[in-house]
Amino acid sequence: MAGKRISVPSPDRIVVFQDFEQLLPWQTVVQNVVYALETTGKAAGKAAIAEAVRYLDLVGVSAAVNKYPHQLSGGMKQRVAIARALAVKPQVLLMDEPFGALDALTRTQLQYELNTIWQNTGL
């Protein structure tokens, strides 16, 4: 990045995987995003909760903030993973076929929504 060799993990580079089980199962949807914000030092406390809710709303899962991953569909889990990745505002967001295991309708919808988010926010 910027002509420098990458040798260690960093919150500036985030990967969203195809696997739905990338969320922490013992934490709620909002806690999963807050955890990412707090561990990367991007936000803490009430500010982290507000930021998490903002990104969950952006990807369309604000109604599920208090649910646990096992209570979500595959598409909703992917939305949460994307919200978590976007919330830390990485310089690089890598996506390993994040919609590949979804049905065609959900995949198309999420691709459209992610493109809209990118265009509207510049993330």
Residue 116 CB neighbours (<10 A) = 11
**Structural domains in the chain plus CATH codes:** 13-121 (3.40.50.300)
| pLDDT tens-digit series, residues 58-105 | 888 999 999 999 999 988 998 899 899 999 998 888 888 777 777 788
- Which position has the higher pLDDT, 123 or 108? 108
In terms of Cα–Cα distance, which of 71, 33, 67 is closest to 52? 33
**Cα torsion 111, 113, 119, 123: sign:** negative
Q: How many residues does the chain have?
A: 123
Query: How far apart, in whole angstroms, are the C-alpha atoms of residue 20 and residue 46?
Result: 27
